[in-house]
Amino acid sequence: MKKEQKVELAKGVADEITGAEGIIITSFKGLTFPQMDNIRRAVKSGGNDFRVIKNSLLKKALNSRNIDILDRFLTESTALVLVRKEFAAVAKDIKKYAKDYSQFTVKAGYLENKLLTKEEVIAIADLPSRDQLLAQLFATMNAPAQNFVSLLANIPRSLLNVLNAVKENKEK
């Protein structure tokens, strides 16, 4: 590749990094093409991007956006995951494939201007999904109203039980 092409590619990656919610840097040394294709398809199906990129080009792109804390992770073979939406969902996919393919590992992540270690990316992957969290929130919000309705329903029921007990006493 000519120097101009490399500069243009680095600039394009830098622009994509700017528009991304976060990034995950992975190592894929030893994976076969079908394995890489499975990972790529899973990540891209959610509207995100997965690409293999030379470390020097990625370093230039990151440094042009003042993200130099990831430089130490740019060794060996590197694949970049550009997360455009739902970082946790993408982290779940990456964790799944890291478990399935021993050669595929997470190096680091970057979210909200902060470095994420491998362990932190895995911890984010272990969080419940957005839908699960919303369901839990709505269940918690609904519980007081549901308890109140149950309490109100118990008053007539209790009165009926007392009246039935009085009736049975009089019948004896």
Per-residue pLDDT of the chain (172 residues; tens, 9 = 90+): 688 887 888 888 888 888 888 999 999 988 889 999 999 998 888 889 898 988 888 888 888 888 888 888 888 889 999 998 888 889 998 999 999 988 899 999 999 888 999 999 999 888 887 788 889 888 888 888 888 888 888 888 888 888 888 888 888 7
Residues 133, 123 within the same domain: no
**Residue 21 · residue 58 · CB < 8 Å:** no
Whether residues 110 and 135 share a domain: the answer is no
**Number of domains comprising the chain:** 2
Let me know whether 32 and 95 are in one domain.
yes
**Same domain as 149, residue 112:** no
Domain extent at residue 144: 128-172
Res 23: pLDDT: 92
CA distance 172 to 169: 5
pLDDT recorded at residue 162: 85
Q: Quick: pLDDT tens for 137-171.
A: 888 888 888 888 888 888 888 888 888 888 888 88
Residue 95 has a pLDDT of 92
83: Cβ contacts below 8 Å, ≥ 6 apart: 20, 21, 22, 23, 24, 48, 90, 111
Residues 61 and 116 in one domain: yes
167 CA to centre of own chain:
62
Shared domain check, 30 and 41: yes
For residue 126, how far is the Cα from the chain centroid? 8
| Same domain flag for 9 and 45 | yes
At 102, is the secondary structure helix, strand, or coil? coil
Chain centroid, CA 96 distance in Å: 12
pLDDT at 166: 86
Secondary structure, 3-state, 65-117 = CCCCCCHHHCCCCCEEEEECCCHHHHHHHHHHHHHHCCCCEEEEEEECCEEEC
Angle at 110 between CA 104 and CA 115, to 5 degrees: 105
